[in-house]
Chain A
Amino acid sequence: MTNHWVDIKNADSILIMGSNAAEHHPISFKWVLKAKDKGATVMHIDPKFSRTSARSDFHVPLRSGTDIAFMGGMIKYILDNEAYQKQYMTEYTNAAFIVGGDYSFKDGMFAGYDAKTRTYDRKKWAFALDENGVPKRDKTLKDPRCVFQLMKKHYERYDLDKVSAITGVSKDNLLKVYKTYAATGAPDKSGTVMYALGWTQHSVGVQNIRSAAIIQLLLGNIGVAGGGINALRGEPNVQGSTDHCILWHILPGYLPVPSSQWQNLDEYNKANTPVSKDPMSANWWGNRPKYMASLLKGWFGDAGTKENGFGYDLLPKVEPGVDYSYMYLFQRMYEGKIKGGFVFGTNPCQSVPNSLKVRKAMDNLDWLVVGEVHHTETSDFWHRPGVDPKKIKTEVFLLPSCQRAEKGGTISNSGRWHMWHHKAVDPMGESKPMGQMIVEIFDAIRQKYKKDGGAFPDPILALDLPGDYDPDYLAKKINGWYTRDVVDGDKTYKKGDQVKNFTLLKDDGSTISLNWLYSGCYGPDGNLSLRRDLSQDEMQAKIGLFPKFSWCWPVNRRILYNRASVDLEGKPYAPEKAVIAWNGEKWIGDIPDGGWPPMASGKGKYPFIMQTEGHGQLYGPGRMDGPFPEHYEPAETPVKSHPFSKQLSSPVMKVIKSDMDVLAKPGDPKYPIVLTTYSMTEHWCGGGDTRNTPPLLEAEPQLYVEMSHELAKEKGVKNGDAVILESARGKVEAIAMVTIRMRPLNIQGKTVHLVGMPFCFGWTTPGVGDATNRLTPSVGDPNTTIPEYKACLVNLKKADKVTELNMS
C-alpha cells in the first residue's frame, strides 16, 4: 500500500477491483464502511458478485482478464472530459516529458520487439534528453511526442463500444463507474484503489496495476489521504516477506540479486545505481551502494572487507536471462535437473498451476525437507491418490513448525507497519519456529564445513549468523549499527551504536543494516515495532494517522509520496484532510518524502523520489511489456480476436513449455467456459493450515464451483450436484453452487459463461476435493512470472460418480 488501512476511511470514492476485500481482507471493510458512512461511493468491479459486492454501492461484473480494457476506457474518459487534476499532472507526473524518437506503437506492438527472444529492447522507449542530459519537457502538453499526447493517442481506441464488447460490461455501467471515480480529480477529493491477486495473477498483471497507477496520477490521487494504490496483502506476511526478499530476483530492501554479469561490487553498483542529471531530482536509488554495502557487512561482518566487496565476491550469482521463479523451478524439476530442496510454509503441490505436473515433478527428487505445521499435499506427495509409494524414490523429512501464536517476532502489514507480535504459548512437542530451524540447519552445515572442509567453504564460514535464533537480535540487525567509531558531520557515533535510520548508512563498511528500508525501526530509541501509543496531533487526528503506533517504513512515513499532496507552495490540495503542510519553516503532519522546502522555493525536489526523474510515471519505460498498459487476452481466451489490435495475447508473457503444459486454442469449442480461481474467508491460501482447523472446515467443508443458473440449466446441473470440470491439463470434481451472483456475459455479441472456484481443498483432508490448480496453466506475467490463476478455459458436466468428494 502507498497508504494504510485506516486511511481508506478518508476516501470519497473507493474502487475495489481485482480484489474481494470483504472476504479476503475482512478488516479492510471496517474502514471501507467508515468511508461509506461519510458518503463515499464504494464500487466493486469483479466477475463474481461476492460479499464485497453485497456491501458496495454497486457491483459491476466483467469478464476475467479484461481489466486493462476497462481501465483504458476510464483513462480515455478522464482525458476526454479533462477530469484530471491539471497542476498535479503537469508538475508531478511525467505527462510533460518528451519521449525519444525510437518509441512507437503499432497494432498492439511497441517498438523494439524481438520475436526470437520474445522480449522488447526497452532502450527504444527512452525519454528525449536536453543538452544537460535532463529529460525534455513541454509543460503546455501540446508537443505531439509528449507523454500526455502519446497517452491520448494510445487510449483513443478504448471507446465505450469496444470496451463494452470485450469486457461484457454494459455501457451504462462503464459510464457510471468512470463518472463517479473521475470526480475524484477535484483537488480536494480523493479516491482509493484496492486491489489484490485479482490483478496480479494475470499474464498482464503488472500492467493491470499500472493502469490504476495512471488513473490515480491523472486524478491527483497518489500521496493524498484517502488515495493511493493499495495492494491488500495478507496474513502470510506478504508485505514483510517481499520487503525481506522472499523472491528470487531481489535481496532485502529491493536490491537486485547479484548476477554473473556483475563480477564484483563495483560492477554491481555501476549497473544498478541510477544517475539523474536533474538537480531537482532526489533520485533516491542513487543511494543504493550504501544500502548494498550495509547489507553485505551485516551478512559477513569482519569477513566482509573492501577487497572482497564486503563479501559480494562470496555470494552466488544468477545467470542473466534465466528465470528462477516457481513455474520454471518446477519445470526444471520435471526435467529431472533438481535433486532436492527445502519447502517452508508453502504447499506447491496445491498452489502452483498445473498441479498434476508439479506433483509428478516432485517424484524426480532424491530428497525433500518440508517445514510445516500440518501434513500437506506437498509433504505427502509420495502417497497421493493414484501413485504407488513404493515407486517414489524421494526421502522426505518433515520438520514440525510451531503455529503463529507460539512464536514472537515482527510482521509487516499492508500499510508497511512493522509490528511486534508476542508469543502467547510455548510451541507444542518438538515443533519450532522456522527461523530456529534455518539457523540450526545452517549451524550444522557450518560445523561440518569447519570440520571436513569442502570445495568452497568460505561463504559458509564467513557468514555472520549466530547459532541461535533471536528475533529481537535480528530486528536490531535489520535496523543496523555502526561497525566502528564514526564521525558524521558534527556527530560522533560509537562502534555498536544503533544507526538512527537509513539516511546515515554508508557505502564504506562503517555501517550494517539487513534491510535499509527498515532502518529506523530499532534505532537509539529502541524497538519501535513494540509501540502501541495512539496519541496524535490535531492534523493527524483528522486523517486517522497514528505516528506512534508501531513503526512504518520508510522512516515512519505513513503515506508515500505525500509531497504530491501539496501545491508548489506547500499548501495541501485538500485542506480538510491534509497529509502534510509547509508552515514556513518545516513540514508538519506526516513525515514528508524528504525535508526539502516546497517546489516554489526553487530549493525543492520533485515528490516522486524513487523514480530517477522524480515524477510519477504515466509513461513507464521500465516494464517488460510496454510503457503504456495495453489490452491483451489471457493465454487461454474464449475469443479469437479483440477490438484493440491484431495482437491477441501478450507477446512477452512467460509460457512454460512441456508435454504436460498444454493450452487450449483461442475460442476453443472444447473448453468454452472461463474459469477464475480464488481464496475464501474461511480458508488460508492452499488450506493446509485451515483444513486442519475444525471450526473453519465446518464452515467451508468442500470444493465448490460457482456458476450461473443459465449455465447450470444448459448443463443439466442442479444446485448441490457434483460436477466434473476439465481443462486442457486436468480434471477436478466440485459441488455446483448455482447462484444469481454469477451471470453470463455478452462478449462481442456471444454469451460467455464464467465459473469460479476456490483453490484451498486438497486430498490430504479426506472427502473435501482436490487441487483446483490441476486446471490452471503455467503461464505468467513477463515482469513477475506470477501465474495466470485468474483466467483460463474449462468445460464442465454433471458427474456420474465421484471419488474426491464425500457425498454422504
Chain B
Amino acid sequence: MAKSFFVDTSRCTACRGCQVACKEWHGHRAVPTRQRGSHQNPPELTPFNFKIVHFNEHMIDGRVEWLFFPEQCRHCVTAPCKDVADMYVEGAIVIDEPTGAVLYTDKTKELTIDQANEVKETCPYNIPRRDEDTGLVTKCDMCIDRVQAGMLPICVKTCCTGTMNFGERDAMLKLAEERLASVKKTHPKAELLDVDALNVIYLVTQPRTMYYEFAERKADPMTRKQLLAKFGKPVKRLFG
C-alpha cells in the first residue's frame, strides 16, 4: 500500500514553516522576489521551491474568508507526467513502489526543453519546473530520503497545527474522512479533492475554485492510450 499525505487546509495558519523547511531540507537557494501586494512569495513554484503556500481572500456574506493552500506535487496514483517522460527518456520519472512516490531523476536532464514542457503541460496541477541552468526537471520528492529512513517528510515534521499529515494511504484516507465529517458541521461546502486519483489528499473548506487556478483538477487521469492519441508518439519508444 502506498503512502499518502493528508493536507487539512481547515487547520492551516499559513505560517509557511513547510515552505521554508522544504527549501532548507533540499538545500535550495533563495530566489529573488518582490512584494507585489500579496504575502504569497514566490508567486509560484520554481525549481528551488517544491512547496509554496497560496493565499486567496474572499468576502462571503460580509465575512472575510482567507484561504490558504500549501501547494505541492500530488503524487498521482497514475502519474501522467511519467507517461509522457517515458516516451522520451526511460527512467527520467520513476515510481518508488513501496511509497508510491513519483520521483524525477537526474535523467530528466536528457529531456529537451520541449519535452520538459510537455511533461509540465501534462501535469493537471502545473507542478514540474525545469532548472534552466542544468536542465533538471524537479518537483516535490516526498522527501524520499527521509521517508526511506523512517522519518516524516520535512513539511509534515515542521507543521505545528495538524495541517500536514503523512502515513499509510488507508490511515490517511480514514483521517481525511473523519476530518471532513467534522469540518462539514461548520463548513458545509467542505470537500476532499480527487481522493481516488491522488496520494496527496486535500481537504478544502470552500469551493475548490476559490483557491487558485490549479486547485481544481483540470483533467481526469489520462490513460496511456489517450496519451498516445494525444501526442502520437511511437509505441516502441514507450515500451522499448
Query: Chain A: residues with CB nearer than 8 A to chain B?
Result: 22-23, 26-27, 29-30, 33, 37, 49, 51-55, 58-59, 681-682, 694-704, 719-721, 735-741, 806-807
Contact A698 B59 (CB under 8 A): no
Known: A29-B160, A681-B15, A694-B29. Contact between A702 and B34, CB under 8 A? Answer: yes
Q: Are A699 and B19 in contact (CB under 8 A)?
A: yes
Closest chain A residue to B22, Cβ basis: A695
B24, A737: Cβ atoms closer than 8 Å: no
Cross-chain contact B161 with A701 (CB below 8 angstroms): no
Would you call A720 and B36 a contact (CB within 8 A)?
yes
The answer on a CB contact under 8 Å between B20 and A741 is: no
Q: Are B66 and A53 in contact (CB under 8 A)?
A: yes
Q: Chain A contacts of B20 at CB under 8 A? A: 682, 695-696, 699
How far is A698 from B38 in the complex, measured between Cα atoms in Å? 13
Across the interface, which residues of B come within 8 angstroms of A23, CB to CB? 13, 15
Given contact pairs A59-B64, A737-B38, A698 touches B161 in the complex (Cβ within 8 A): no
Given A49-B66, A719-B37, A695:B13 Cβ within 8 A: no
List chain B residues, Cβ under 8 A from A29. 13, 160-161
* Residue on A nearest B13 in the bound complex, by CB: A22
A722 and B68 alpha carbons, distance in the complex (Å): 26
Cβ < 8 Å to A, chain B residues 20-44: 20, 23-24, 28-39, 41-42
**Residues of B in contact, count (CB < 8 Å):** 36
Contacts of B160 in A (CB 8 A): 26-27, 29-30
Interface of B is mostly: loop
Distance between Cα atoms of A695 and B21 in the complex (Å): 9
- By the criterion CB–CB under 8 Å, are B59 and A806 in contact? no
Indicate whether B57 reaches chain A with its CB closer than 8 angstroms. Answer: yes
B167 at the interface (CB under 8 A from A): no
Q: How far is the CB of A694 from chain B (nearest CB, A)?
A: 3
Which residues of the other chain, B, contact A33 by a CB distance below 8 angstroms?
Answer: 11, 161-162
Give Cα A700–Cα B55 distance, bound, in whole angstroms: 13
B15 partner residues in chain A, CB cutoff 8 A: 22-23, 26, 51, 681
* Residues from chain B with Cβ under 8 Å of A52 in the complex: 13
Q: Is the CB of A700 within 8 A of B41?
A: yes
Please judge, given known A-B contacts A22-B13, A51-B14, A54-B13, whether A807 and B24 are in contact too, CB under 8 Å. no
Q: How far is the CB of B195 from chain A (nearest CB, A)?
A: 22
Mark B residues whose CB is within 8 Å of A: 11, 13-17, 19-20, 23-24, 28-39, 41-42, 57-59, 63-66, 68, 160-162, 182
Chain B residues within 8 Å of A739, by CB: 57
Known contacts A59-B64, A740-B64: A682-B35 contact under CB 8 Å: no
Known A29-B161, A699-B16, A806-B34; judge A53-B39 contact (CB<8 A): no
Residues of A within 8 A of B33 (CB): 697-699, 701
Residues of A within 8 A of B34 (CB): 701-702, 806-807
CA distance A700 to B52 in the complex (A): 13
Q: Do the beta carbons of A26 and B13 come within 8 Å of each other? A: yes
Task: Tell me, rounded to whole Å, the shortest Cβ–Cβ distance linking A720 to chain B.
Answer: 4
Known: A698-B41, A740-B59. A30 touches B66 (CB 8 A): no
Contact A55 B41 (CB under 8 A): no
With A698-B31, A741-B64 as contacts: A736 and B37 at CB distance below 8 Å = yes
Q: Are A735 and B30 in contact (CB under 8 A)?
A: no
* Residues in chain A near residue B13, CB distance under 8 A: 22-23, 26, 29, 51-52, 54-55
CB of B50 to closest CB in A, whole Å: 12
Which residues of chain A are within 8 angstroms of B182 by Cβ–Cβ distance? 37
Contact A735 B66 (CB under 8 A): no
Among B16, B35, B65, contact of A702 (Cβ-Cβ < 8 Å): B35
Q: Which of A27, A51, A53, A697 contacts B30 (CB 8 A)?
A: A697
CA distance in complex: A360, B23 (Å):
40
- Interface pairs (13), CB distance under 8 Å: A22-B13, A23-B13, A30-B160, A54-B65, A59-B64, A681-B15, A694-B29, A695-B28, A698-B42, A699-B20, A699-B41, A701-B32, A741-B66
Inter-chain pairs besides A695-B24, A737-B39, 12 sampled, C-beta below 8 Å: A29-B161, A30-B160, A33-B161, A52-B13, A55-B13, A682-B20, A699-B19, A699-B33, A701-B32, A740-B64, A806-B34, A807-B34
